[in-house]
Amino acid sequence: MKNYSYVLRFSKKEVDKNLIDTALNYAWKNTPSKNNFMNYNVHVLGPKNKDLRKSLYYKCLANQYDCNKEGFENNLEEYDKYLDLIGLPPNFRNILSAPYIMIYTQRVSEVVNSMQQVNVDNGVVYEQTFDKGTKKYHNAHGIARFESGMFSANLSNKCLELGLDVSYIGCMPLEESKWSEPEWSFIKDKPIIIQLIGYGELYKKDKIDPSTDLKPSFERVVNIL
């Protein structure tokens, strides 16, 4: 991860799909999971999904607009131009150039393995198996977020090792109701985060002095008792 740098724009250089497959398999194999459920999905959009890429950008833009309410009455194209005018283009515009996009969502585990079934038969309850609308489904969301974060970190490490760049996006609609269009029918559960993969062309550090945008100090984060 020492080679990580946030990408503002990805290169048009083609990414070998075998590299993506290798990184995904590495993350799947090496990411632990509570009771081996892995109650999340990683939806992979590739270079051919151009319409979804544009739709995703506008979903993120709408999410930012809803937070800021700049007075454009949901005219997202005008809002997009306004952000350029004031010199604040959204970092997530990198969605439009990223050859690969991973959308992480929660997943209900409908299939149990042999050990899990033995435990279920003996009265063990797994919140990862409960449907939407239940309290246990809501409780399992934290597990999905935590574990998918580990998966995405493992995926990032392997991508960086293979010479690829990665970036994350959290400015996205988190309610399933905002993914109701037919083209997003595969989003059946709560979204978690977006991860982009490709070859970087323009990085955040190229536009902003890194010393002006530092993470909190070690001592502010790590509390050693």
DSSP output for 92-121: GGGGGT-SEEEEEEE-------HHHHHHHH
Confirm whether 2 is domain-assigned. no
Say which range, 23-37, 57-71, 177-191, 192-206, has the weakest mean pLDDT: 57-71
Of all residues in the chain, the percent with pLDDT exceeding 90 is 83
Residue 1 lies in a domain: no
Contacts of 140 (CB under 8 A, 6+ apart): 39, 106, 127, 128, 130
Say if residue 204's pLDDT is above 90: yes
Q: Tell me the chain's radius of gyration from C-alpha atoms.
A: 19
Say if residue 72's pLDDT is above 90.
no
Amino acid at 220: R
Question: Is 143 within the bounds of a domain?
Answer: yes
| Number of structural domains found in the chain | 1
- Asked if residue 214 belongs to a domain, the reply is yes
15: domain CATH number is 3.40.109.10
Q: 181 lies in which domain range?
A: 7-221
In degrees and rounded to multiples of 5, residue 186 shows phi and psi of: -80, -10
Q: What is the pLDDT of residue 121?
A: 95
CA angle 13, 155, 165 (to 5 degrees): 30
Report pLDDT for 41. Answer: 98
Cβ atoms of 198 and 192 closer than 8 Å: no
Whether 204 is covered by a domain: the verdict is: yes
> Residue 52 falls within a domain, yes or no?
yes
**C-alpha dist (Å) from residue 124 to 110, 128, 159:** 15, 12, 38
Instruction: Give residue 210's pLDDT.
Output: 87
Tens digits of residue pLDDT in 15-48: 999 999 999 999 999 999 999 999 999 999 999 9
Q: Predicted confidence band at 67 (pLDDT cuts at 50, 70, 90)?
A: confident
Give the pLDDT of residue 176. Answer: 87
Reported as half-sphere exposure (CB side, CA atoms, 13 A), residue 80 has a value of 13
Please calculate the CA angle 126-42-167 and round it to the nearest 5 degrees: 125
CA 223 to each of CA 160, 216, 217, 218, 220: distance values in angstroms, whole numbers, following the listed order: 29, 13, 11, 9, 7
pLDDT of 140 > 90? The answer is yes
What does pLDDT average to over the chain? 94
